[in-house]
Amino acid sequence: MMNSMYGKSILNLTELTKEEFLSIIELAVAIKADPEAYRGVLAGKILAMIFEKNSTRTRVSFEAGIIQLGGQAIVLDSKSTQMGRGEPVKDTAKVMSSYVDGIMIRTYSDQIVAELAKEASIPVINGLTDDHHPCQILADFQTIYEQKGKLEGIKLTYIGDGNNMAHSFLIGGSLVGMDISIATPKGYEPKAEFVELAKKNAKVSGSIIEIVNDPDQAAKNADVLVTDVWASMGDESEQKEREVIFKEFQINNRLSVQAKKDYLFLHCLPAHRGEEVSVDIIDGTHSAIYEEAANRLHAQKALMVKLMANL
């Protein structure tokens, strides 16, 4: 069977069917189990990586991943490219399409990524934008699948800011039949368009989507508890203000008793211990943050194989 994902761009997970999403997770698990079997799958392929936002895990996991698959990466800081001097995205997309086999971009504006994908003739991967973080969700769902043995019917509770992680959990979870409960302070809910999209998906997949302002209510019977920093990249100026507003939205021992006894704790990192999560939770027995971070490598290798290898 021909690979239906070859040449696709991944901007926010809406490009994937449920079957395609699950096939990435299955391939990620297979690559993790036997990396040598996939060693030369992307031989001769080049991934251009454009960074407008700081990065540790995205940068290292994508670069290591393409090298391990037999390809190479060219890392570009947007400030050192002509894009940083105002070259139209269209021109960058068309020129880079003749040089490399894929583009991964980590930036602020979703509009830039969408335009890049529209104008490029090669796959474009969103490595993080203000509204979406699809690659993190692939790694998170791989971790949940490995720990819980399934995705469908799992209840994932996200507590904190209704940011790009919240949006991506809504889209990914509703696609695969995972119940998603999100608790934020009033005024910090996820964007309505992504909540509506998730509810539409949920009608097909049978999942339950819940947006509330009460963390205890959201955490009830959760299989997975997740959080993120209270002030995302670009919102750092609001840090002090948010520390007050989000005070009751910390994942700690008091809150975690609402979840199932064998709940899993995830965090995309970097974390602020003592703010969005207490030290004893993030460094405790329920936490899988390092396995989750390690799975960025395997999930992204699977994604690159699907998009860049016509198997």
Residues serving a catalytic function are 106, 133, 136, 228, 268, 296
Residue 72 labeled ligand binder: no
Nearest CA to 219 among 253, 185, 190, 255?
255
Q: Tell me, what DSSP letter sits at residue 241?
A: H
The answer to whether residues 191 and 129 touch, using CB atoms and an 8 Å cutoff, is no
Residue 69 labeled ligand binder: no
Separation of alpha carbons 289 and 283, rounded Å? 9
Nearest CA to 58 among 233, 240, 225, 219?
233
The answer to whether residues 87 and 96 touch, using CB atoms and an 8 Å cutoff, is no
Enumerate residues 6+ apart whose C-beta is below 8 A from 202.
174, 208, 209
Residue 232 labeled ligand binder: yes
Residue 49 labeled ligand binder: no
Residue 296 labeled ligand binder: yes
Residue 59 labeled ligand binder: no
Residue with tokens 């930036």: 107
Residue 278 labeled ligand binder: no
Residue 233 labeled ligand binder: yes
User: What is the CB neighbour count within 10 angstroms for residue 291?
Assistant: 15
Separation of alpha carbons 276 and 183, rounded Å? 13
Residue 134 labeled ligand binder: yes
Q: Tell me, what DSSP letter sits at residue 39?
A: T
Residue 268 labeled ligand binder: yes
For the chain, how many helices (H) and strands (E)?
Answer: 12, 9
Residue 242 labeled ligand binder: no
Nearest CA to 263 among 209, 207, 220, 225?
225
Residue 216 labeled ligand binder: no
Residue 57 labeled ligand binder: yes
Q: Does the CA dihedral 171-250-252-213 come out positive or negative?
A: negative
Q: Which residues of 45-70 are buried (b: 16+ CB within 10 A; e: fewer)?
A: bbbbbbbbbebebbbebbbebbebbe
Phi-psi region of 212 (alpha: psi -120 to 50; beta: other; left: phi over 0): beta
Binding residues for carbamoyl phosphate, by number, are 55-58, 82, 106, 133-136, 268-269, 296
Binding residues, by number, are 55-58, 82, 106, 133-136, 164, 228, 232-233, 268-269, 296
